[in-house]
Structure 1
Amino acid sequence: MTTRQTLVADVPVDTRHWIGGRRVASARTFTTTSPVTGGPLAEIARGTPEDADAAVAAAQEAFPGWAATPAGERAAVLHAVADAVERRIEELAAVETLDNGALLRSHRLGVMPRVAQNFRFFADRLLVLGHEDLDTRGHTNRVAWDPAGPCALITPWNAPLMLATWKVAPALAAGNTVVLKPAEWSPLTASLLADLTQEAGLPPGVLNVLQGHGPEAGHALVSHPGVRRIGFTGSVPTARRIAAAAAAHLTPLSLELGGKSPLLVFADADPDLAADLAVEQFDNAGQVCLAATRILVEESVAEDFLRRLTDRAARLRQGDPRQETTDIGPLVHPRQLERVDGFVRRALAVGARAVLGGGPHTGLGGTYYRPTLLTGVAQDSEIVQEEVFGPVLTLQTFRDEDEAVRLANDTRFGLAATLATGDRARADRVTARLVAGTVWVNCFFVRDLRAPFGGSRHSGVGREGGDWSFDFYCDLKNTVTAPKGWRAHG
């Protein structure tokens, strides 16, 4: 078979699907472009419903053997995948930076090491997974986590490989097989992952990578009767379509969706810490679902806080994400730039004021958008209520704790919240009242893979991380055994 590889950052990347342990082409392709250069990177196989059928069939065929593989052997393969990732961190980082525009130094120092950690954590967690036996009038209840079957995993473009392996690793550790469909705006490192798993000795068909567009390959995948679990990270509208498709077969779903998270700054907070936390929300050009884009500040310190925030934000360096000195890179795609700018323009048209930014970075061109802070926004306005997914923050004030909590909870989302306060009792009171899957107090983006992760309301369904991932990717079985009825064997 003719090899179809493209050099991306001097790294050979195969642009075909990975199905059943071999590369498979499609009749049509689509172009992935770089937000860094503005030019095309590769022509990618555009998956069809028939390709989705083939990928699920490969996963079904491989499932019995992988499910029967002893836990220790499965864990060893996942550690081998982590080893392979660590050997190629520089290459993975370079490819992903060109593909989605995130900072190269972040990929090298944080994101790609976390990819390896995802595999190691769930490999190790598998080996200690268990529940104490329960006694019921002398009967023994024993809990087991049985592999569920082929899993369809659809992952986003903002942290492509890390968020893909956040799902792939526990699904494989649990004994399932996987069909991974990466986002069409950043598919390249998923293809490299297929190569790494082959190198690590993962049997053919255990991981399949199906590339393509959501309405074609994605829909065929999530509506397939052979899929036993669906994991999705992305937007609420897409999640609704996936849930509707999955309903026909009652396929269980794990949905990690958008956010409109608040940062609550109380007058007793360390002012420099609070301002630093606010500036952190511009990370990855604001393309972070967890970002606290709604800044809520106690009235008495609002003026001082605003000064500190604008001073720090003005020092952020925007430019080529491959440069070590760059703090903010481009948005992932021209359509994303149009979307973000549309939100800002509509907000300005109804009375918002841009204290920072307010539009594209014309000096850089491309998809660069200036870090933006808007004041004078109403609580029921679009810019406060809807996820922008760009470097755009809003600032509102509150008078007391009750108003702070009311404003924080007054959206349809509930993914995360960040709280800055010097009063431990206040932190306990406020966090207890916030609707959020994760709350950070005087910190941001600290993640432990042992802890549950997910959102409330329209921010998602279910939790992943630790044993919660195994609960989703497995069929839990309780076996109840009577103390009597056994025959003696001589």
Structure 2
Amino acid sequence: MSAATLRVTNPADLSTVAEVPTAEFADFERAVQAARRAFDGEWSRTSAAERAELVLRFLDVLEKRQESLVDTVVAETGALLSMARRVQVAGAIQHARTAVRIHAALPEEEHNPIPLADLVAGDRVVTSVLTWEPLGVVSAIPSYNVPLFITLWKIVPALLTGNTVVLRPSPLAPLTVLAAGAAAEEAGFPPGVLNVLVEDGTAGAQLMTSASQVDAVSFTGSTAVGSAIMAQAAPTLKRVMLELGGKSAGLYLPGAVDRAADGIVTVMRAMAGQGCVLQTRVLVPESHKEQVLAEAADRVGALRIGDPRDPATDVGPVISAAQVERCAEHVAAARRHGGRVVVGGRARPDLGGHFFEPTVVDLDDTANRLAQEETFGPVVSVIGYRDVDHAVALANDTVYGLSGAVYGPAGEALAVARRIRAGTVLVNGGYFGPYASSGGWRHSGEWRERGREGIRAYQQVKHVTAVSS
């Protein structure tokens, strides 16, 4: 490790949470080599039951440290205390435990359904089997907004399926991930199986995505970085699993416009809008638009911004000064395009941290940055549509395809949902659980996380065929 340190700042009050030693490029090289040796050695040949036992032991350690993890998540991300406890820590551990059960139920090999005439040919019997095997060394790079959740989504399936992992947390929120690494060490993972390194830069991450000893990369973050990772991984033809940006639409049919204000408030309260699946474009009938804007202005204007540890707080900070500036830039771009800010719209440095007011903007169309680019902050646009066809066109008018939602009478809403181009579409709400996978289309990513698909993503298929002699 180098003598350099990374200063981790509390986004709510700008205090220093910790000074973390950072890894040098040579440390990343050694970590990749250690992961390679561990995989080529004993780890990939351990039984599924042995790996599951270690993962469960690791989760037991995390569970014992829940309160400390909650404190860490709040301090480094600014998440509301209640959400950090219920979702970011307890929910993450529960999802991971369920992943162990899902993996245990998946077959390690499956017989191909070969016609009998091909199975038995003369005096020979043919066997044809698909086996599911680990990829090798996996580079895992989670984002900052829900650090433990995303880390466990990546490393638990990877380890269960027999891979080794090099894990690099976001420099904006490394402490929770480091705590997970310490828990894995206490649980007794063999050397080289899970390697956690922090850096204040990108050289190590670029090695993780380009080194020939690495077989796969799992990344959550911006589309721009995801695109760069694909390019870095291309020469060695790695598997690249990406969950990237989103500009999800919440489409409210005429019979459900009374739910629109609730949806807007949900975006604000959920990590101050810092969620890639959040419905930051709200589509409502033109005839109801003013009603929705008035209700949203009242509801959002009453939200309390401030200390995420205060139970009365509704909206905490965003992660950094750069993120505050991005929110301000998108609101300014909307204004230049004719958008009208109906509530909020300002940075709030007077609150002592990286705060931006919960903001609702009235837009006439989707031809501006606020409607097209991911803001990742408490800023929602409201756009009117003429009819269902126009609403679907607006919902699909984006390069992203991560998530979306339709609200209204069930049958009608389901028919509309089938026309939305996204990896997940909610109809009058949805299921966010460990059995259901998620993943993006188009600029929102590749592959899936969670569920059986999120486990199979860390495996490759081998065809084994044999003929009786």
Name the TM-score, length of structure 1 as normaliser.
0.90
What displacement does 1:363 show? 4.1
Q: Does 1:201 align with 2:196?
A: no
Equivalent residue, structure 2, for 1:90 = 67
What is aligned with 1:135? Answer: 113
Q: Are 1:378 and 2:354 an aligned pair?
A: no
What are the Cα deviations for residues 342-396 of structure 1, in whole angstroms up to 9, with x where unaligned? Answer: 2112222332111010111254142111000011343211111111111000011
Contact 2:253 2:413 in 1 (8 A): no
Q: CA contact under 8 A between 2:296 and 2:360: conserved in structure 1?
A: no
Indicate the residue corresponding to 1:479 in structure 2.
Answer: 464
How many pairs were matched up? Answer: 457
Is residue 38–residue 191 contact of structure 2 (8 Å, CA) maintained in 1? yes
User: Are 2:448 and 1:470 equivalent residues in the alignment?
Assistant: no
Aligned to 1:50: 26
Distance in 2 (CA, whole Å) between partners of 1:215 and 1:191 is: 18
> Is residue 72 of structure 1 aligned with residue 49 of structure 2?
yes
Distance 2:253 2:297 in 1: 18
Match of residue 396, structure 2, among 406, 409, 413: 409
1:62 corresponds in structure 2 to 38
Letter in 2 for 1:133: H
Confirm or deny: 8 A CA contact 1:48 1:217 kept in the other structure. Answer: yes
**Percent of pairs with identical residues:** 38
Counterpart position of 2:132: 145
- Give the distance between the partners of 1:275 and 1:383, measured in 2 at CA: 19
SS in structure 1 of the partner of residue 401 of structure 2:
coil
Q: Please tell me whether the aligned partners of residues 35 and 366 of structure 1 are also in contact (alpha carbons under 8 angstroms).
A: yes
Alignment pair present for 1:211 and 2:198: yes
* Residue 340 of structure 2 corresponds to residue 353 of structure 1: yes
After superposition, what is the alpha-carbon deviation per residue over 1:27-56, rounded to whole angstroms, capped at 9, x for unaligned?
A: 322222111220222222233321111111
Distance 2:200 2:363 in 1: 39
Structure 2 gap ranges (5+): 120-125
Which residues of 2 match residues 260-271 of structure 1 at below 5 A?
260-269=247-256, 271=258
- Is structure 2 residue 260 aligned with structure 1 residue 274? yes
Name the amino acid aligned to 1:68: R
| Structure 1 residue 399 displacement after superposition | 1.3
* C-alpha distance in structure 2 between counterparts of 1:327 and 1:143, whole Å: 51
Provide the rounded CA distance (Å) in 2 between the counterparts of 1:307 and 1:235: 33
Instruction: String of CA shifts for 1:172-219, please: whole Å, max 9, x gaps.
Output: 111111000000011001111111112222222111101113522111
CA separation of 1:202 and 1:118: change in aligned 2, threshold 3 A: farther
Letter of the 2:447 counterpart: G
CA distance in structure 1 between the partners assigned to 2:290 and 2:423 by the alignment: 30
Contact 1:398/1:404 (<8 A) preserved = yes
- In structure 2, distance between residues paired with 1:334 and 1:460: 26
In the alignment, the residues of structure 2 paired with residue 133 and residue 173 of structure 1 have an alpha-carbon distance, to the nearest angstrom, of: 22
Relative to structure 1, is the Cα distance of residues 120 and 376 closer, same or farther in structure 2, using a 3 angstrom cutoff? closer
Separation in 2 of the partners of 1:350 and 1:428? 33
Distance of aligned partners of 1:365 and 1:344 in 2 relative to their CA distance in 1, 3 Å threshold: farther
Query: What CA distance in whole angstroms lies between the structure 2 residues aligned with 1:154 and 1:289?
Result: 16
Corresponding residue number in structure 1 for 2:98: 121
Where has structure 1 moved over 3 Å in runs of 4 or more?
A: none
What amino acid maps onto 2:433 in structure 1?
Answer: D
C-alpha separation in 2, matches of 1:80 and 1:454: 28
Alpha-carbon distance in 1 for matches of 2:364, 2:171: 34
For the aligned residue pairs, the C-alpha RMSD in angstroms reads 1.6
Q: Name the counterpart of 2:298.
A: 311
Look up the match of 1:156. Answer: 143
Report if aligned partners of 1:47, 1:216 keep a CA contact under 8 Å in 2: no
Q: Show CA shifts across 1:133-188 (max 9, x none).
A: 22322233322211111110111111111111111110011111100000001100
Instruction: Name the amino acid aligned to 2:458.
Output: Y
1:364 counterpart residue number: 351
Could you give the per-residue CA deviations for residues 246-288 of structure 1, whole angstroms, max 9, x where no partner exists?
A: 11111110011000010101111161x3321221111111100
Once the two structures are superposed, residues 41-82 of structure 1 have per-residue CA deviations (whole angstroms, 9 ceiling, x without a partner) of 222223332111111111112213121111111111111111
SS at match of 2:361: strand
Kept in 2, the 8 Å contact 1:319–1:329? The answer is yes
Alpha-carbon separation, structure 1, partners of 2:142 and 2:293: 36
| 2:13 is the counterpart of 1:37 | yes
Matched, 1:454 2:430: no
SS at match of 1:141: strand
Q: Given the two structures, how large is their TM-score scaled by the length of structure 2?
A: 0.94
How far apart in 2 are the matches of 1:378 and 1:304?
A: 18
Deviations 1:411-470 (A, max 9, x none): 100100011112x221222111100111111115x3122222111110001122222123
Q: In the alignment, does 2:11 pair up with 1:26?
A: no
Residues in 2 aligned to 1:351 and 1:134: alpha-carbon distance in whole angstroms: 60
1:218-297 alignment, distance < 5 Å: 218-269=205-256, 271=258, 273-282=259-268, 283-297=270-284
Residue-by-residue CA offset, 1:65-103 (whole Å, 9 max, x unaligned): 121111111111111111111111110010111111111
Q: Is the 8 A contact 1:153 1:168 kept in 2?
A: yes
Task: State the 1:230 CA deviation.
Answer: 0.3
